[in-house]
Structure 1
């Protein structure tokens, strides 16, 4: 099953998570973000803000 970005809905090609994508744990749930969303929200991710604050 291809990975899907939890922010914009983009899907990765293939069955493995691309190295440019990021993962985070928010409220005990693992979230996956594509490279575009990861770059756009880098400061919020580094500050450990939940994606609902972006």
Structure 2
């Protein structure tokens, strides 16, 4: 699919894209370097930068709303 100027489909993530639950970064995948967490039954992905910044909270099993 080719996007045209003014076509917002180029900026909308597809269902196959992963979106960081913390900063909103998108990637095709999810990439192997991202962290996945299940919080209250919902799968959430975190990019490398957010995971590195909050690794102690992740390892302590704190829900991301507590970071």
Q: Does 1:36 align with 2:36?
A: no
Question: Residue 19 of structure 2: SS of its match in structure 1?
Answer: coil
Aligned length: 52
Q: State the 1:5 CA deviation.
A: 0.2
1:26 positional shift: 0.5
Larger relative contact order (Cα-Cα within 8 Å, sequence gap ≥ 6): 1
TM-score normalized by the length of structure 1 = 0.89
Query: Residue 51 of structure 1: CA displacement?
Result: 0.3
Gaps of 5+ in 1: none
Indicate the structure (1 or 2) with the bigger Cα radius of gyration. 2
Moved over 2 A (4+): none
RMSD: 0.8
- Unaligned stretches of 5+ residues in structure 2: 1-15
Q: Distance in 1 between matches of 2:35 and 2:45?
A: 6
Are residues 1:4 and 2:19 paired?
yes
